[in-house]
A and B are shown apart, each in its own frame.
Chain A
Amino acid sequence: MVRNDDGAGAPAKAPAPLPGARLAPRGGTAGHLVKAALLALSAGIAVWAALPLIAAGNWFGLAAVATVTAVVFRVYLSERHVPAKYLLPGVLLLIAFQVVPVLYTVGTSVTNYGDGHRGTKEQAIAQIEAASVAESEGGQDYVLTLAARGDAATGELVFLLTGEGDRVLAGDEEGLEPLPGARTGPTGKVTEAGGLTLLTAAEAGERSEEISQLAVPAGEGAGIRASGLSAAYEGRATRVYDEGCDCITDSTTGEVYTADDERGAFVGEDGDRLSQGWRVGVGADNYARVASDAGIASSFLSILGWNVVFAAGTTLGVFVLGLAVALAMHTTRPLRGRTAYRLLLVLPYAMPAFAMMLLWRDMFNADFGLINRMLGLDVDWLGGTGTARAAALTINIWLGFPYMFLIATGALQAIPRELVQAARIDGAGAWQAFRNVTLPLLMVAMAPVLIATFAFNFNNFNAIWLTTEGGPFPADSPMAGATDLLITYTYRLAFGGQSAQYGYAAAISVFIFLIVTLISYVSLRRSAALEEVNR
């Protein structure tokens, strides 16, 4: 982004200008042109991004665009801040798509966000009332045409309702509004609705469950629901919200549900909750639940133990194998088949990982698995704790060692051969030279990679989910399997049940994050990489 810009050419905290600074480099004309073009481009992008933000009245987004643009111009027009010129593009993207999501997740962890607790209290009330609509005498009937916003299969569902006098209304979860541009056929079915996709009978059939659940709020405690795929009725809500008592009364049973603003739900006298709630902050409740829930606490330590073994075992395995292969190929003398070896050894890494995990799972299958067939065995590999863990490690090391081989090859090539040669001339044996010269230099480049490998495998969701799925499960504990990692366990707890609990899952994620960070930080401190950082 910054070719030949006219910095002093010295590192940021450079000493005083050299004598003859007037002769110091000013960069080329071409560089200045490129820089001007890029700045003009970023100004153009800013305008492009700002227009719809202004139209939508999204002032927060507009402020973000303005700030970013100002920072870009400040950094690239100034002659100082040389490191910032190089870091800015990557850092902006990093903040937008990594840091913000993480902060959002941490924020979610102190709410009850999840299925049944997604929106505001008003939305919850509208949904409760509309969903309780029952057909009442004298309620208006409509001819129903089904439509969607956008794609017929996935777009938001819209009810087109033809009432008396062929007046057409469009209704969705939010409410009703007239649809003036619509044309209707002889039966009252809508044949054309500007901007909406009309569903064919087959497409509607595919979404029939969704259609039967959609309730259009019609105001004043009334709602419209579909009856089949071509008729709809307006009825009265049997559950009505009363602002005075901040409660919902069910007129058929007489039950009263009072709003609980701490839990974000309407709670009946006997403790029943209505399923539609709203999103509220719950403070540290989710964290307290992780620590106090008996089911979680008992499994947590055993899962953590295996999790550490899995991550450390994988890291050690891929490091030893990858380095050994790299060393075996690292020779100045011609090695027959070097290219063939390289290409074949990198195969596990070149194959699509998700596909190979599924393939390995089938190879370990007890009944028709390739491994049992070839070895003439009848072992239920994924059914026993020990064998399932060994299988998970084998698969993961198979997938990972070529990566370490590539990294180690690169790192070995960056170490000047003269150093090793000097050590050998000074009388060091091959092992001594490796142990005292090559390995320490290698670790400087590889320690961060090893730590990242550890962290990645600590949370390697796919490696477990696509192979053992956390199993085998002990008979008395169907939630915590022998090969479960914390992350697969969290996933099952948070999403595997009847409803998603993002708030709770986010809290566990924060715990996992703290554990991994702690372990990584300690190992990073002990590694040679720290000296490099501090240098």
Chain B
Amino acid sequence: MAQPTTSSPAPPRPAPPAAAAGPVRRRSRRTSGHLWRHVFLLAMTAFAAFPVLFVVSAALNPLGTLSSAQLIPTGASAGNFVQLLTETRFPRWYLNSLVLAVSNAAATVFLSALAAYVFSRFRFAGRRAGLYGLLIIQMFPQFLAIVAIYLMFSTITDLRPEIGFDTHWGLLLVYMGGALSINTWLMKGFFDTLPIELDEAARVDGATHAQMFFRILVPLVTPVLAIVGLLVFIATVNEFIMASVFLRDPDSQTVALGLAAMVADQRDSNFGMFAAGTLLLAIPVLAVFWYLQRFIVEGLTSGAVKG
């Protein structure tokens, strides 16, 4: 996107299997190349968006019940939103969710990038075991580990209630336990694509390993940092099971917990509020995506070596 096109006319690009089924005709590629893209992307967009349209319609539905909700909005009313914001603790939940998600995303990106850097650039004892260990530890069914974490934090709550149950610090600590994960592999893969010549040049110029990391490599892997940050942000906003164990005080709860409780008993009549809350929860995620997508620019790597 950001990279200026090279001098060769109509730069070639990899084509997906679908396009390769028929012979590619050079002359018509300029038009048909984009036509199949649009047809395919429109079909996928429809698939992706129609359940979301249903949520929008249900949120605007003046009756606010599940059985009366349609795909296309039948009326527009802000009643569900007003009810949600004034009669429940939704604003408080919302703030809690945002604070947790932003802190966890920032911490995870930082910790994971540090680890990915050494996994990619250093050779040391335990490197292979560490990389495999990160994958394997995640294959353990997590719902039982919750029993252990619950017992652990029962003790911590007695000793230091500041980081115990009903606090965001305690929950954040548990989330950060998962900072080194598949995200580290993902980042390592990107560090691997940066040519080693960069490091060598920097070392000759007298950079320490920390300067090399913070000043040279991190700016070049911004796309993957942005992607991982987004993924962690979304996962934290959606996280449900661990939060339900930790946050029992209604004032400390997150949107996911609040909404789930809302429809647990009164599914039909609270459906409008549920849909409205779902939409409001999606807004920060979309905003973060919107903000980060400008970082997801291509050509950084090749730009760096060429320069």
Q: Mark B163-189, 1 if CB is under 8 A from A, else 0.
A: 000000000011011111110111001
Pair A430/B12 contact, Cβ less than 8 Å: yes
Pair A403/B231 contact, Cβ less than 8 Å: yes
| A86, A348, A429, A512: the one within 8 Å of B20 (CB) | A429
| B49, B178, B210, B259: the one within 8 Å of A98 (CB) | B178
Pair B44/A332 contact, Cβ less than 8 Å: no
Which residues of A are found within 8 Å of B182, using beta-carbon distances? 448-449, 452
Chain A residue at smallest Cβ distance from B182: A452
Give the docked Cα–Cα distance between A356 and B237 (Å).
14
**Interface hit among B75-83, B86-94, B278-286:** B278-286
Chain A residue at smallest Cβ distance from B274: A355
Q: For this complex, into which size category does the number of interface residues on chain A fall?
A: 35 or more
Give the docked Cα–Cα distance between A137 and B174 (Å).
54
Pair B123/A445 contact, Cβ less than 8 Å: no
Q: In the complex, what's the smallest C-beta–C-beta distance from A399 to chain B, in angstroms?
A: 10
Pair A11/B185 contact, Cβ less than 8 Å: no
Residues from 119 to 168 in B contacting A, C-beta threshold 8 Å:
121-124, 127-128, 130-132, 134-149, 151-152, 155, 158-160
B256 at the interface (CB under 8 A from A): yes
Which residues of B are found within 8 Å of A58, using beta-carbon distances? 155, 159
Give the docked Cα–Cα distance between A409 and B214 (Å).
24
Which residues of B are found within 8 Å of A452, using beta-carbon distances? 135, 138, 181-182, 185
A342 at the interface (CB under 8 A from B): yes
Chain B residue at smallest Cβ distance from A413: B298
Give the docked Cα–Cα distance between A426 and B148 (Å).
59
Q: In the complex, what's the smallest C-beta–C-beta distance from A391 to chain B, in angstroms?
A: 13
Q: Mark A507-535, 1 if CB is under 8 A from B, else 0.
A: 00100110011001100100001001110
Pair A100/B152 contact, Cβ less than 8 Å: yes
Pair B12/A433 contact, Cβ less than 8 Å: yes
Give the docked Cα–Cα distance between A490 and B70 (Å).
37
A390 at the interface (CB under 8 A from B): no
B27 at the interface (CB under 8 A from A): no
| B12, B55, B134, B299: the one within 8 Å of A421 (CB) | B12
B103 at the interface (CB under 8 A from A): no
Pair B190/A102 contact, Cβ less than 8 Å: no
B99 at the interface (CB under 8 A from A): no
B307 at the interface (CB under 8 A from A): no
Pair B159/A53 contact, Cβ less than 8 Å: yes
Which residues of B are found within 8 Å of A409, using beta-carbon distances? 296
Pair B302/A49 contact, Cβ less than 8 Å: no
Q: Mark A405-439, 1 if CB is under 8 A from B, else 0.
A: 01101111111111011001000011101100110
Which residues of B are found within 8 Å of A413, using beta-carbon distances? 223, 296-300
A324 at the interface (CB under 8 A from B): yes
Which residues of A are found within 8 Å of B255, using beta-carbon distances? 352
Contacts A97-B174, A359-B54, A437-B14 hold; do A350 and B234 have CB atoms under 8 A apart?
A: yes
A328 at the interface (CB under 8 A from B): yes
| A13, A327, A459: the one within 8 Å of B142 (CB) | A459
| B16, B137, B224, B238: the one within 8 Å of A352 (CB) | B238
Pair A90/B231 contact, Cβ less than 8 Å: no
Which residues of B are found within 8 Å of A1, using beta-carbon distances? 114
B74 at the interface (CB under 8 A from A): no
Pair A421/B49 contact, Cβ less than 8 Å: no
Residues from 218 to 260 in B contacting A, C-beta threshold 8 Å:
223-224, 227, 230-231, 234, 237-238, 240, 248-249, 255-256, 259-260
Q: How many residues of B contact A (CB 8 A)?
A: 132
Pair B139/A449 contact, Cβ less than 8 Å: no
Which residues of B are found within 8 Å of A429, using beta-carbon distances? 20, 24
A70 at the interface (CB under 8 A from B): no
Pair A354/B16 contact, Cβ less than 8 Å: no
Which residues of A are found within 8 Å of B193, using beta-carbon distances? 414-415, 445
Chain A residue at smallest Cβ distance from B21: A431
Which residues of A are found within 8 Å of B19, using beta-carbon distances? 430-431
Residues from 175 to 213 in B contacting A, C-beta threshold 8 Å:
176-182, 184-186, 189-190, 192-193, 203, 206-213
A341 at the interface (CB under 8 A from B): yes
Give the docked Cα–Cα distance between A409 and B295 (Å).
12
Q: In the complex, what's the smallest C-beta–C-beta distance from A329 to chain B, in angstroms?
A: 7
Which residues of A are found within 8 Å of B173, using beta-carbon distances? 93, 96-97
Contacts A87-B118, A108-B147 hold; do A341 and B45 have CB atoms under 8 A apart?
A: yes
Give the docked Cα–Cα distance between A467 and B41 (Å).
27
| B49, B70, B152, B211: the one within 8 Å of A344 (CB) | B49
**Interface hit among A24-32, A183-191, A197-205, A376-384:** A24-32
Which residues of B are found within 8 Å of A26, using beta-carbon distances? 208
Chain B residue at smallest Cβ distance from A500: B147
Pair B37/A335 contact, Cβ less than 8 Å: yes
Chain A residue at smallest Cβ distance from B180: A90
Which residues of B are found within 8 Å of A407, using beta-carbon distances? 186, 227
Which residues of A are found within 8 Å of B266, using beta-carbon distances? none
Give the docked Cα–Cα distance between A362 and B123 (Å).
52
| B15, B54, B213, B230: the one within 8 Å of A434 (CB) | B15
B85 at the interface (CB under 8 A from A): no
Residues from 314 to 349 in A contacting B, C-beta threshold 8 Å:
321, 323-325, 327-333, 335-337, 339, 341-349
| B12, B37, B114: the one within 8 Å of A86 (CB) | B114
Which residues of B are found within 8 Å of A49, using beta-carbon distances? 160
Q: In the complex, what's the smallest C-beta–C-beta distance from B22 to chain A, in angstroms?
A: 10
Chain A residue at smallest Cβ distance from B185: A448
**Interface hit among A2-10, A158-166, A476-484:** A2-10
Which residues of B are found within 8 Å of A533, using beta-carbon distances? 127-128, 131-132
Pair A93/B177 contact, Cβ less than 8 Å: yes
| A9, A347, A410: the one within 8 Å of B190 (CB) | A410
Which residues of B are found within 8 Å of A459, using beta-carbon distances? 139, 141-142
Contacts A330-B14, A351-B55 hold; do A98 and B145 have CB atoms under 8 A apart?
A: yes
A266 at the interface (CB under 8 A from B): no
Give 21 A-B contacts (CB < 8 Å), ordered by A residue: A7-B210, A9-B211, A10-B209, A27-B211, A61-B159, A83-B124, A89-B111, A105-B145, A324-B40, A327-B14, A332-B5, A339-B293, A347-B49, A353-B238, A410-B296, A414-B193, A420-B12, A449-B186, A451-B135, A461-B141, A520-B139
Apart from A9-B212, A93-B173, A424-B12, what 10 extra A-B contacts exist at CB < 8 Å?
A13-B123, A89-B111, A327-B16, A402-B48, A403-B231, A409-B296, A416-B301, A420-B14, A459-B139, A459-B142
Nearest 8 CB-CB pairs, A to B? Answer: A97-B177, A431-B20, A101-B145, A101-B148, A445-B189, A430-B15, A413-B298, A104-B148
Residues of B bordering A, CB below 8 Å: 1, 3, 5-6, 8, 11-20, 24, 33-34, 36-38, 40-41, 44-45, 47-49, 51-52, 54-55, 66-67, 69-71, 111-112, 114-115, 117-118, 121-124, 127-128, 130-132, 134-149, 151-152, 155, 158-160, 173-174, 176-182, 184-186, 189-190, 192-193, 203, 206-214, 223-224, 227, 230-231, 234, 237-238, 240, 248-249, 255-256, 259-260, 263, 274, 278, 281-282, 285-286, 289-290, 293, 296-302
